[in-house]
Chain A
Amino acid sequence: MIDTRYAIRLSGVTKRFGNHAAVSELNFDVPRGAICGLIGPNGSGKTTCIRMIMGILHPDAGSVSLLGATPDDVRRKRVGYLPEERGVYRKMTCTEFLTFLAEIRGVSRTEGWKRSNDWLERLGLGEWADRRIEALSKGMQQKVQFIGTVIHEPELLILDEPFSGLDPLNQDVLEEIIRDFHSKGTTILLSTHLMDQAERLCERVCLISNARKVLDADLKELKAKERTGVVVVRFEGSNQWLEGPEIDYIHESNGELHLILKDGADHQSILKRGLEYGAKIYRFDLVEPRLHEIFVRHAGTGSVGDAGMPKNVTLELQ
């Protein structure tokens, strides 16, 4: 029976390369119409997971369902897939290349040609349409690759690190387009290690670390649930009052400190200690945790090695 609620379902999926488990017993669903983030540090198994969803790799155990069935040619043609390492045919012109990609997914040549030109125009590459791709800058090539992903108007977009290598301006453009697709009902799964982006875009996140799923939840619910977790403070004076059993770890952001509390810890006791130590407190604010913090907490201190995700910050104030 075809399950129409989910665009993607992974159940008990395991994939090994030699002795190394790249993905281990992963259960993970993407509801139709959702925009879902697959987050995790580099080497955590995101790309392997995506390749199995696309049917490029086959799981050693467990099952993958793509648009209601095992990934096959018919279903894969309804998916727009942007791999992490993406190439182009350098000697082809932009329109030739895009038309070819449209064609192998079942769009007619004339229609593919027309859509290519429309998209190139929309992304400001109109005058490059008949130039060979090798003449384009790297950023422009990435735009062409993105157009290639959506040229056949897929019902599901799978984007592996779509923002990497783009300048902030183009990141915004891409974000806008992704939102646009989402609003038209396209299901979107994107992998990223940029927490801010995931936080802005995604409704759901699935956190993978060391080949295993650590977290899989609706972002709003997640934040509500973890609400007690983070206190933002700004103060003057000794920081001794911050050494307490309630605090898991601390990181700095915009000159303020984010105190990530241990589960069930009482933030009042920290405030009380601050007053006892005589710190001049300007801000003591219990906030919604940022995805970053949730991520770091759940990914565990040992497994996160990315520059973008500090596991700890030493305190140096005044």
Chain B
Amino acid sequence: MSVNVWAVIRREYLQRVRSKWFVISTLGSPLLILLLMVVPAYFLVRGGQAEQKIAIVDGSNVLYERIAPYLVNEGLEVEEERWYPDVVTSLRKEATEGDLWGFIVLDELTLDTGEAIVYVTTRPSPIRQLTLQSAITRAVMEYQLERRGVDAEALLSGGDLSLELLSEEQTSTEEPQFWVAYLGAFFLYMVILFYADSVMRATLEEKTSRIVEVIISSMEPWHLMLGKILGVGAVGLTQLLVWIVSGFLIVVGGMPLLVSLSPGLMPVETILSALPGIGMVTLFVCLFIFGFFMYSGLHAAVGAMCNTDQEAQQVRLPMVMLLVIPIAMVSVVIMQPMTAMSTWLSLFPLFSPFLIWARVVSGGIPAWQIGLSFLLMLFTVLAIAWIAGRIYKVGILMAGKRPTLPELWRWVKEA
């Protein structure tokens, strides 16, 4: 590649990477996510330590060991108190004078009806109240079911449905995977369009500031366009890689912590197993690169043929409208990745970056179709580059009215 193109790439890359905006958005986003995960976790931990020691006076003799672990899990400190005649009076004294938040009194009646008395120094939140109540009723149900010889634990945790697929076609997508597919496709859409739009703006700026005439008097317009696209693309890749690496660190380091703090959510293994592996990350990056090349070429041409930002946004509108289709269809494609419609939509090169991702994550695509889609995208990239390069070459020096479609066609033919 010529020295010129490298100079343009370097300029474009350094100018952008050194901008405040880039630093903030690149480092800020993972930090924000980290913050969103760590802050609640921190308060959960802190809250659990500082707060609420509760005593349980178990007159039934069977409920304490069932209730205690549950409450501990919910961040309460639990201690057992033997039953004796004056226990309520002495605990009441301890609670008002000492650090005891309250105490629960369970008796034989609790075993039948789930009724219990809770003495507290301060009113508990509705959620905490519900926690206490469900801890007790759950313990009672467990006890009663076990007395009748039923596997209470299995039953109470919702049973288990084992799924036997009779055909090879795998059409079910588990929930965490659905989100990886959906958010991944959406994220690709956002970054590709954002960076393609940057190329358009940069082109427009060069054109309106007239610097472009100086530049292309020293190099082919086509080289300038190429350098610009590669430079901006490199910025996008840098940002993606920073996000992927920091995302990996956050998940590996932070997720188990978060899950351990709120066990009600989902088991760690379920979440981790749904996360994309190295192969998926590579696919994601490749889809970004191909998608970016297609869309940035189109955007560069739009930037070159327009004179103002508003004009460019207008010309760009049909392209953005077209993109409503894949975005609207993402969830359908994820749920039914093997249907003819999903296949054709995902093989349409301009939609491939988003829909191929959706199909791969949901497991519904033969390998040859992935290969085919990349081949089609490659041809599209080359075709767009050829056409856009010609439009760019003519448009970049044009002032005044933006071209009509027949005029554009003439540019492409004559350039």
Complex interface: chain B residues within 8 A of A86 (CB): 210-211, 213-214
Q: Is the beta-carbon distance between A104 and B215 smaller than 8 angstroms? A: yes
Q: CA A57 – CA B219 in complex, angstroms?
A: 13
Complex interface: chain B residues within 8 A of A106 (CB): 3
Contact of A104 with B210 at beta-carbon distance under 8 Å, contacts A56-B397, A91-B15, A92-B15 already known: no
Complex interface: chain B residues within 8 A of A96 (CB): 11
Q: CA A91 – CA B4 in complex, angstroms?
A: 20
* Interface flag for B8 (CB, 8 Å): yes
Contact of A87 with B217 at beta-carbon distance under 8 Å, contacts A103-B7, A104-B7 already known: no
Complex interface: chain B residues within 8 A of A91 (CB): 15, 19
Chain A 106-126 interface 0/1 with B at a Cβ cutoff of 8 Å (1 = within): 100000000000000000000
Q: Which of B210-260 contact A (CB under 8 A)?
A: 210-220
Contact of A56 with B217 at beta-carbon distance under 8 Å, contacts A87-B206, A87-B211 already known: yes
Interface of A is mostly: loop
Q: Is the beta-carbon distance between A76 and B217 smaller than 8 angstroms? A: yes
Q: In the complex, identify which listed stretch (A24-32, A37-45, A77-85) lies at the interface while the others stay far away.
A: A77-85
Complex interface: chain A residues within 8 A of B7 (CB): 100, 103-104
For A148, give its contact among B15, B19, B214, B397 (CB under 8 Å). B214
* Interface flag for A167 (CB, 8 Å): no
Complex interface: chain B residues within 8 A of A149 (CB): 214
Chain B 150-189 interface 0/1 with A at a Cβ cutoff of 8 Å (1 = within): 0000000000000000000000000000000000000000
* Interface flag for B209 (CB, 8 Å): yes
Tell me the smallest distance from the CB of A61 to a CB of chain B, in Å.
15
For A104, give its contact among B19, B206, B213, B218 (CB under 8 Å). B218
For A83, give its contact among B3, B4, B206, B213 (CB under 8 Å). B213
**Residue of chain A at shortest CB distance from B415:** A58
Tell me the smallest distance from the CB of A315 to a CB of chain B, in Å.
42
* Interface flag for A54 (CB, 8 Å): yes
Q: CA A224 – CA B257 in complex, angstroms?
A: 95
Chain B 255-283 interface 0/1 with A at a Cβ cutoff of 8 Å (1 = within): 00000000000000000000000000000
* Interface flag for A89 (CB, 8 Å): yes
Contact of A90 with B209 at beta-carbon distance under 8 Å, contacts A104-B4, A104-B8, A104-B215 already known: yes
Tell me the smallest distance from the CB of B13 to a CB of chain A, in Å.
12
For B210, give its contact among A55, A76, A83, A103 (CB under 8 Å). A83
Q: Is the beta-carbon distance between A73 and B220 smaller than 8 angstroms? A: yes
Tell me the smallest distance from the CB of A106 to a CB of chain B, in Å.
6
* Interface flag for A7 (CB, 8 Å): no
A-B contact count (CB 8 A): 66
**Residue of chain A at shortest CB distance from B227:** A104
Complex interface: chain A residues within 8 A of B11 (CB): 89, 92, 96, 100
Complex interface: chain B residues within 8 A of A79 (CB): 217
**Residue of chain A at shortest CB distance from B19:** A91
Q: CA A90 – CA B209 in complex, angstroms?
A: 9
Complex interface: chain A residues within 8 A of B211 (CB): 86-89
Q: CA A178 – CA B383 in complex, angstroms?
A: 46
Tell me the smallest distance from the CB of A157 to a CB of chain B, in Å.
12
Complex interface: chain B residues within 8 A of A101 (CB): 214, 218
Q: CA A92 – CA B213 in complex, angstroms?
A: 17
Q: CA A87 – CA B212 in complex, angstroms?
A: 8
Complex interface: chain B residues within 8 A of A148 (CB): 214
Q: Is the beta-carbon distance between A87 and B218 smaller than 8 angstroms? A: no
Q: CA A91 – CA B206 in complex, angstroms?
A: 12
**Residue of chain B at shortest CB distance from A100:** B11
Q: CA A103 – CA B7 in complex, angstroms?
A: 7
Q: Is the beta-carbon distance between A87 and B219 smaller than 8 angstroms? A: no
Most buried by B among A51, A77, A81, A104: A104
**Residue of chain B at shortest CB distance from A106:** B3
* Interface flag for A223 (CB, 8 Å): no
Tell me the smallest distance from the CB of B396 to a CB of chain A, in Å.
10
Q: Which of B185-216 contact A (CB under 8 A)?
A: 206, 209-216
Tell me the smallest distance from the CB of B208 to a CB of chain A, in Å.
8
* Interface flag for A298 (CB, 8 Å): no
Q: CA A88 – CA B212 in complex, angstroms?
A: 9
For B214, give its contact among A73, A87, A92 (CB under 8 Å). A87
Q: CA A244 – CA B220 in complex, angstroms?
A: 59
Q: CA A79 – CA B210 in complex, angstroms?
A: 19
Tell me the smallest distance from the CB of B303 to a CB of chain A, in Å.
15
**Residue of chain A at shortest CB distance from B224:** A104
Q: Is the beta-carbon distance between A54 and B15 smaller than 8 angstroms? A: no
Q: Is the beta-carbon distance between B15 and A104 smaller than 8 angstroms? A: no
Complex interface: chain A residues within 8 A of B212 (CB): 87
Q: CA A81 – CA B216 in complex, angstroms?
A: 10
Q: CA A244 – CA B218 in complex, angstroms?
A: 55
Contact of A73 with B219 at beta-carbon distance under 8 Å, contacts A91-B15, A103-B3, A104-B7 already known: yes
**Residue of chain A at shortest CB distance from B221:** A56
Q: CA A140 – CA B87 in complex, angstroms?
A: 90
For A105, give its contact among B213, B218, B397 (CB under 8 Å). B218
Q: Is the beta-carbon distance between A88 and B209 smaller than 8 angstroms? A: yes
* 18 A-B pairs whose Cβ atoms sit less than 8 Å apart in the complex: A54-B217, A56-B216, A56-B217, A76-B218, A77-B218, A81-B217, A86-B210, A86-B213, A86-B214, A87-B206, A87-B212, A87-B214, A91-B15, A91-B19, A104-B3, A104-B7, A104-B8, A106-B3
Starting from the known contacts A76-B218, A83-B213, 10 additional A-B residue pairs (CB-CB under 8 Å) come to A51-B397, A56-B213, A57-B397, A87-B213, A87-B214, A89-B15, A89-B209, A103-B7, A105-B218, A149-B214
Q: State the 7 A-B residue pairs at the shortest beta-carbon distance, nearest first.
A: A87-B211, A87-B209, A87-B210, A103-B7, A85-B210, A83-B213, A81-B217
A: residues with CB less than 8 A from B are 51, 54-57, 73, 76-77, 79, 81-83, 85-92, 96, 100-101, 103-106, 145, 148-149
